[in-house]
């Protein structure tokens, strides 16, 4: 049976996250996996299970989510993006489709993921929150220093125990992760972006990293505090968890050899989302 890999983009504002959720005795919640499976089922005319690479949390967006399913279908793979997207709501799109190996696992075969957190900063009257970016950007009423934030962000790179940057209910056997790159850059007079990539991420980890870096940017922490916060292995040592609207899954990468995402794979249904 052919196996298909999809690359997806979605606005997560109106979704309860990626993972299908069916509360007992209640209608299913609106999730990306739920609407995608319904659309794929309509295209291939058979029940399907669509597996996603990242269980993004409620309100989190994606430009490069990866999902896969197996099905017999007469629809050519080059027509799959249009066929599926035409059956999806307006806040989800299939950008690419490809036929992959029968054993392709979007979670277990993952080598790295990249997230971006967008921030606008300083408040009225100097700068009003952007009316048209409110769904995709976090607004801080404090002026932030991107250079200090970038200095602090670099201290997170490498393999560390990130217990200080995970919610207590993270549901993972280990909080050790490898951050390949963590950088902050100004994108305008009142705008900045945090780009972070790694082998895998804990529940709310990027949003806690972003919240801690905002504390550095507004002067409540100094860059060197990041080393102390990592060593503490205590959630109370880090900054706040920023809201989901600023976070976007940018890409998921695959390659040969052992999976670099093994610590986050194979979690049972109901395990907390990554972000």
Burial class (CB within 10 angstroms; exposed 0-12, middle 13-18, buried 19+) of 171: middle
> Residue 181: which residues within 8 A CB-CB, separation 6 or more?
157, 195, 196, 197
d(CA 9, CA 7): 7
Are 143 and 162 in contact by the 8 Å Cβ rule? The answer is: no
d(CA 212, CA 238): 6
> Residue 88: which residues within 8 A CB-CB, separation 6 or more?
35, 36, 39, 94
User: Cβ of 188: how many Cβ atoms within 10 Å?
Assistant: 8
Catalytic (active site) residue 57: yes
Closest C-alpha among 31, 33, 34, 27 to residue 16: 31
d(CA 136, CA 60): 9
> Active-site residue among 11, 57, 109, 150?
57
Q: Which residues have a catalytic role annotated?
A: 57
């Amino acid at each position: 049976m052919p196996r298909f890999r999809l690359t997806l983009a979605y606005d997560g504002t109106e979704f309860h996250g990626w993972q299908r959720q069916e509360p007992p005795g209640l209608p299913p919640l609106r999730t990306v996996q739920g609407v995608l499976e319904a659309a794929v089922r309509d295209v291939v005319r058979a029940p399907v299970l669509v597996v996603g690479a990242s269980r993004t949390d409620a309100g989190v967006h994606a430009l490069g989510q990866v999902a896969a399913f197996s099905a017999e279908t007469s629809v050519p793979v080059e027509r799959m993006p249009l066929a599926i997207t035409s059956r999806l709501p307006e806040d989800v799109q299939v950008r690419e489709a490809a036929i992959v190996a029968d054993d392709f696992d979007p979670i277990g075969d993952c080598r790295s993921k990249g997230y971006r957190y967008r921030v606008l900063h300083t408040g009225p009257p100097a700068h009003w929150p952007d009316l048209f970016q409110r769904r995709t950007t976090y607004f801080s009423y404090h002026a932030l220093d991107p250079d200090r934030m970038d200095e602090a962000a670099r201290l997170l790179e490498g393999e560390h125990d990130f217990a200080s940057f995970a919610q207590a209910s993270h549901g993972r056997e280990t909080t050790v992760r490898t951050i390949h790159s963590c950088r902050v850059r100004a994108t305008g007079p009142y705008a900045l972006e945090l780009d972070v990539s790694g082998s895998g991420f804990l529940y709310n980890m990027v949003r806690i990293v972003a919240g801690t870096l905002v504390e550095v940017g507004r002067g409540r922490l100094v860059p060197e505090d990041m080393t102390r916060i990592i060593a503490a292995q205590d959630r109370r040592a880090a900054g706040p968890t920023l809201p989901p609207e600023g976070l976007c899954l940018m890409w998921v990468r695959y390659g040969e050899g052992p999976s670099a995402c093994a610590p986050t794979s194979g979690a049972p249904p109901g395990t907390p989302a990554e972000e």
